[in-house]
Amino acid sequence: MNPRYAVLSDAQWKHIAPLMPESEGKLGRPFKDHRLVAEGIIYRYRAGIPWRDLPPHFGPWQTVWKRHRGHSGDGTGDKAPAALLTRADAAGLIHWEVSVDSTVHRAHQHGTNLPRHTGGPVE
C-alpha cells in the first residue's frame, strides 16, 4: 500500500475488518479489497474532494462510491463506528463531557405556519 494514501494503521484495521460485510451469497462480482475501499472513503472525506477526484490508487471512484452507498444503506456505516466507540469507551479512552447552550433564536413572525393573533378586534 502506498504510504501517501494510508490512513488506517494495521492495528486499526484489525478492529474494523470483522465488521465488514461478506460478498458470499450475493449476486455480482465478489467485493474488492475492503481495506482499500475503506481507505478511499476516508481519504475522500479527509481531503474534501469530489468522488471523481479520488486518486486512482484506490481503484475506480465508482467502485468506492458504490460501496460507500451500500454501507450507508445496509447499516455497516453506522455499525462500525458504534462498535469502535463502544470498544474505546470500555477501554476508558473516551471522556464524555456535556455542553449545554441556552441560546434562543427567534424567527420572524412570518417564519411559522401558525395564525398570527395581534389581540385586535375580531371581525
Taking the model in full, what pTM does it have? 0.67
For 68-89, the pLDDT digits (tens) are 998 888 888 888 888 888 988 9
Q: Which is more confident, 122 or 46?
A: 46
Domain boundaries along the sequence of the chain: 32-90
DSSP per-residue codes, 51-113: GGGS-GGG--HHHHHHHHHHHHHHSHHHHHHHHHHHHHHHTT-------------PPPGGGSS
> Residue range 44-63: average pLDDT?
92
Residue 42 has pLDDT above 80, yes or no: yes
Q: Which is more confident, 101 or 10?
A: 10
